[in-house]
Chain A
Amino acid sequence: MAETRALYNTLAPMRNVTAFLTLMRRLENRGHGLPGMGCFYGPSGLGKTTASVYVANEEQACVVQVKSVWTQKKLCQAILAELGVHPAKVIGDMVDQIAEVLARDGVPLLIDEADFLVKKGMIEIVRDIYESSFVPVILIGEELLPQKLRKWERVHGRILSWVAAEPADDDDFDLLRRIRCPEVEIDEPLLARMRRASGGSARRIVENLELAREIAATRNLDRLTLEDWGRREFFTGITPDARRISA
């Protein structure tokens, strides 16, 4: 049954995925002399990582997710591990190794959580990698990443395109509903509540839809209404208010 629906089960038409893929294609097909770095930014929960995973699969790209404690050496080692290459001992040599493999195989490089690179002043190393490989390099980060990069003029100037992640719209919601809840029909008032509660966050939409599918499956329904949902909370991502507790 799942197989017949394979056609719908792709994230490609999602707004942010399309934007990311377009950015990648622009960088790949850029004209001579144009810079080849890109930046994809936005608040968390909008599906940046989802989009990067999908695009990495589509393009067979190399993805690294930077951690807050990483040093320059660790970053190089992580990229080399991702490329399946045994790292050299010195950072300078590692950068050459990375550039060589990326350029030889034509592999684009995606760097998630790039904010940490800026914070620790490691962003120049990414420029080094780009300058010696000329493959597309995309930095993925939080909403303020472009502002943070402004300080690093040499990096900033090499960015061809800045793409902002957008909140999920109604088409995205519909697509996710077809992927995650194909066997259940959800009536319009419940859908509307869900849409509002999710607030454009792809992650919350998926959580709410998954809960809907669960309710329908456990109670053997093929149609779900607001009454079936009952008093259950929606996933809204809002933190609870402070309680008034007298000491």
Chain B
Amino acid sequence: MTQDRSPKDAAVRERAWCHAQAMGAFTYKDLAEAADISRDAATALVRAWEARGSLCRRPDALGARIVFEVTDEADTSCAKGARRVRAATPQGNMWRAIRGLGSFTYRDVAMHANTSSVPVSEGAARDYCRMLANAGYLRVERKARPRGRLAVYRLVRDTGPRPPREKRVRAVWDDNRGEYAYIAGGVA
């Protein structure tokens, strides 16, 4: 029985497939160099892809060089995989909008975060902005008036690309001391 030499790591396989798609047409050697894997691994991968119908051999190849082409029927698992890794969420979109905009009202956030794949309502944007303001991520630059004027926020604590989320946690409240004695998952 022949040993399966294709890379074990799914991420490596996926990356190789992305390179294959980017190149469109390639030889074993091209793939090995582009994806930084061994020739054996590249050969094993190409055979697997060919078996599932994602590749076809280009007929006009010269000599011993076999050129493969990504077929039209090939699934774009590269793009699908990317969606899974960087899944779109309402909070993710709102956080990205907040980080990109500088100063903004909740309506600005809703307008920029509401995309075809992830609907974001103005209500959701308002709640999210309030939550971030309470948590100290946003500073109120101009206060809202009861009728009409919206609060203008500014991002003051940009901690990174992942959106802060509201979580419900179990905690122990001590009435004698007026404080939380224990908060599950760490202290706020």
Contacts and interface: CB of A to CB of B under 8 A. Distances in A.
Interface of A: 2-3, 6, 9-12, 31-33, 49-50, 52-54, 56-58, 60, 63, 65, 81-84, 100, 103-107, 134-135, 179-180, 206, 210, 213-218, 220
B23 A57 contact: no
Tell which of B86, B116, B149 has the most Cβ of chain A within 10 Å: B86
Interface in B42-81: 78-79, 81
Contact of B112 (A2, A54, A60, A215): A54
B95 to A, nearest CB: 10
A201 to B, nearest CB: 15
B100 A63 contact: yes
Interface residues of B, number: 48
5 contacts: A49-B101, A53-B100, A54-B112, A60-B83, A134-B18
A103 B116 contact: no
B19 to A, nearest CB: 6
A12 B25 CA distance: 34
A81 B78 contact: no
Interface in B149-163: 149-150, 160-162
Contact of A32 (B24, B100, B150): B24
B88 interface: yes
Given A9-B111, A105-B81, A49 B160 contact: no
Contacts of A179: 107, 111
B149 A214 contact: yes
A106 B81 contact: yes
Where chain A touches its partner, the secondary structure class is: helix
Contact of B107 (A3, A103, A180, A217): A180
Contacts of A32: 23-25
Nearest to A213: B148
A2 B121 contact: yes
B88 A105 contact: no
Contacts of B122: 2-3, 9
B1 interface: no
A181 to B, nearest CB: 10
Contacts of A11: 111-112, 114
B169 interface: no
Nearest to B95: A57
Contacts of A103: 15, 18-19, 22
Given A53-B97, A53-B101, A104-B11, A6 B121 contact: yes
